[in-house]
Structure 1
């Protein structure tokens, strides 16, 4: 596994986009102020991404106000893997708590599966769709 993204799941997407693009001056690789998803070049092989919080909650069919996870989905750490299905099966076998089984996310251009660590942080394993 290779950490490919740190994805911040934000409430005020437009303000956060302007902060990272205009204040921190990170070059925009994908998205814009209104796209609800953007990627920034942070001079690393790992990228910083912003995602409107509700978009991820809708995709994963979760409730952002879940009382058992008060900080649910404020960020996601994304790992690129060669084989999402095999890696997901191994993680489940090793005791990882799966949120969403592997599936193609054509709008994102990836095949991905989602998990939570013991503190409830969202982890994604993914590989590009061919």
Structure 2
């Protein structure tokens, strides 16, 4: 089994599409006015409007801008460079400047316009780099 995608449900799809294009530098593929995707080599971040909830059983299935338990994580080449590139854009949405975590990743934490927590990280210790090398060989 492989994780294929994570989907964010939002009341303002245009705002999130613009935000994720800016922070990732990846063009978003907008399939319909209510559904878009950011494709990476390992997984996809999907963005759906609240109108798509009707396809999944109704408005009560998910609520936009209510997440407080999920972190959307992107492995980046150099988290310090991304911080320099994005600091003025993110401004008050930065939760934590680049910091080395106990498990060996250097992480930049920030919130998207809906309040979802986003982590840009770079493995920096030998152990962390080896862990990601082994993931790539599977």
**Same fold flag (TM > 0.5):** no
TM-score between the two structures when normalised by the length of structure 1: 0.43
TM-score (norm 2): 0.41
Larger radius of gyration: 2
Higher relative contact order (CA 8 A, sep 6+): 1
More strand, by proportion: 1
